[in-house]
Amino acid sequence: MDPATRDHAGAQLLRAARSHALRPTRDDVLRAVDDADHGLAFAEWATRYLDSDNLLTPDELAIYTALDRSGEVDRLAGLHDLAEVQAVGDGDLRVAIDELRQSTDRISHQTETLRQQEDALSRLVNKQSESEARRRELSLARQQKIDQECKQLTIEVNPNLP
């Protein structure tokens, strides 16, 4: 076994053990990984399965242990025919992960499209508000001009009025 695989497997084994309150020494772990009969298989197993997706956290283990002691695990298992549950293989997981990635990409693309539409709508609303404000200003200016012209005409027609 190459040294990188050996060290990686050893480190993974130590991390997993320590996260579950086990305290093997580095030498003990490396001795197991270096075992002539089973070391390679053990290292491959550790590298493949000892990660956060496959191991319970200490809190999860405590909850499971409490449920097991109370008989709740057996009761829950009895509610379902576990023989009907199909095993999920690595290939199935890869397909599911790929589908999730594709779905995430589509959602990200749709999110970007919605952002662009929101920006365009915001610009349109702002433009419309500006146009309405300008229209009100022009209307007010025109009305003031008309009022001024009316006053001027009134003064010209009847100069004696205040």
Residue 131 domain-assigned (yes or no): yes
Judging by beta carbons within 10 Å of its beta carbon (0-12, 13-18, 19+), is residue 14 exposed, middle or buried? buried
Number of domains present in the structure of the chain? 2
Residue 83 domain-assigned (yes or no): no
Distance of alpha carbon 31 from the chain centroid? 41
Q: Is the domain of 42 the same as that of 95?
A: no
Residue 29 domain-assigned (yes or no): yes
Give Cα separations from 60 to 55, 63, 94 (angstroms): 9, 5, 26
Six token digits for residue 154: 């009134």
Tens digit of each residue's pLDDT (9 = 90 or more) over 42-87: 888 888 888 777 788 878 888 999 999 999 988 888 887 777 777 7
Q: Which domain holds residue 43?
A: 1-56
Tens digit of each residue's pLDDT (9 = 90 or more) over 83-119: 777 778 888 889 999 999 999 999 999 999 999 999 9
Task: Phi first, then psi: give them for residue 95, nearest 5 degrees.
Answer: -65, -45
Q: Is the domain of 49 the same as that of 108?
A: no
Q: Is the domain of 49 the same as that of 97?
A: no
Report the alpha-carbon distance of residue 20 to residue 13 in Å, rounded: 11
